[in-house]
Amino acid sequence: MPAYREPRRRSPPLPAPRGPLSDAVIDALRIDALRTGADHPAPAVGDADPFGDDLQLALYILYELHYQGFEGVDDEHEWSPGLLALRRSLEEPFLAALRAGAAGTDGDVESALSGLLVEPIGDDGHSVSHFLQDHGELWHLREYAALRSLYHLKEADPHAWVIPRLYGRAKAAMVAVEFDEFGAGREADIHARLYADLMTDLSLETAYGHYLDAAPADVLATVNLMSLFGLHRSLRGALVGHFAAVEVTSSPGSRRLAAALKRVGAGPAAQRFYDEHVEADAVHEQVVRRDVIGGLLADEPHLESDIAFGIEATGLLEDRLAARLLAAWRSNSTALRGQPG
């Protein structure tokens, strides 16, 4: 295997715009309003689709200023008042659409969690991991890995924002799970690095953000959800709910993805990423349910509806993404933007 190259050794270039909102954000960052003193009025969000390419890319770019930033963009833009105001105007319709679409459990955490524990029997037509396990070809798995890299190359980072907003049992348990996600003190075992190794085995480019232009809005929304919840203290319960949804569903899904990679002959590093999650997340699920959620509810019971919302919103966006991927693959088309079908 080639020598490991840190995916975040440099910031990615700005992506191509997908409409007036993302174009305005990119233009402001390129012109560097902080240095020039130029005034860039925020574009009107209007009736932009809250789940559409333009709004989701604009949000993604603004959120990335809190992670790795972009090549040639001043790091001071992270706290630019004008950009923060624009981000807020984009978050509001996104959050409203999430609340409207994720109102299935009346704020009850146990009901929300119980829905995650029902495993489909075989391929029910809606599960990406079942499709990949039973029918996936190498090109399907490469596309899936490329698209998921927008999160997995910074895996666990968005969830770390909740740590200073917790205390007691919930905080201790959250840190314990995150410690595993960050390699338990071993650089080679950081999950983001394991994912870069997976990508190398699949002959994919491991540079951070490389596949942003290829990612449809449904992919961007799943990453934006974590940033939205993580950057707002008022949504700390929702971020815990999101974390729980990820950990509860990860182990069985990872088992299927590991089997799919083995079936198509992917290398050992590709299989290791998901094998690691089969074992680790089976344990994490119990810790998250018992101690992170249990501890948070013991301390702040008024956050129960927020936790349930985080679980439901995660499911809503994952279902939208699954529908997008499966529709493309079942018609023998690529799920990547800007690629021939």
Are 183 and 259 a contacting pair, CB within 8 Å?
no
In this structure, is the dihedral angle defined by the CA atoms of residues 160, 302, 167 and 308, taken in order, positive or negative?
negative
pLDDT beyond 70 at 295: yes
What percent of the chain clears pLDDT 70, i.e. is strictly above it?
92
In this structure, is the dihedral angle defined by the CA atoms of residues 77, 82, 88 and 90, taken in order, positive or negative?
negative
Domains in the chain (CATH in brackets) are 20-99 (no CATH), 107-330 (1.20.910.10)
227 Cβ contact list (under 8 Å, min separation 6): 59, 63, 66, 158
Strands (E), the chain: none
CA nearest to 127, candidates 265, 9, 26, 249: 249
pLDDT beyond 80 at 103: no
Are 97 and 52 a contacting pair, CB within 8 Å?
no
DSSP state letters, 70-128: -TT--GGGGG-HHHHHHHHHHHHHHHHHHHHH--SSTT-HHHHHHHHT---SS--SS-H
The pLDDT score that the predictor gives to residue 277 is: 82
CA-CA distances (angstroms) from residue 327 to 78, 146, 195, 212? Answer: 37, 18, 26, 20
Q: Which of 82-86, 164-168, 325-329 has the lowest mean pLDDT?
A: 82-86
pLDDT beyond 60 at 36: no
The pLDDT score that the predictor gives to residue 63 is: 98
Counting Cβ atoms within 10 Å, is residue 294 exposed (0-12), middle (13-18) or buried (19+)?
A: middle
pLDDT beyond 70 at 96: yes
Give the helix/strand (H/E) hosting 332: none
69: left (phi over 0), alpha (psi -120 to 50) or beta: left
pLDDT beyond 90 at 337: yes
The pLDDT score that the predictor gives to residue 119 is: 62
CA nearest to 95, candidates 61, 137, 51: 51
Mean pLDDT, residues 132-141: 96
pLDDT beyond 60 at 340: no
What letter would DSSP give residue 2?
Answer: P
What letter would DSSP give residue 17?
Answer: P
What's the CA gap between 252 and 198, in Å, rounded? 19
Span 163-202, pLDDT tens digits: 999 999 999 999 999 999 999 999 999 999 999 999 999 9
What's the CA gap between 189 and 192, in Å, rounded? 8
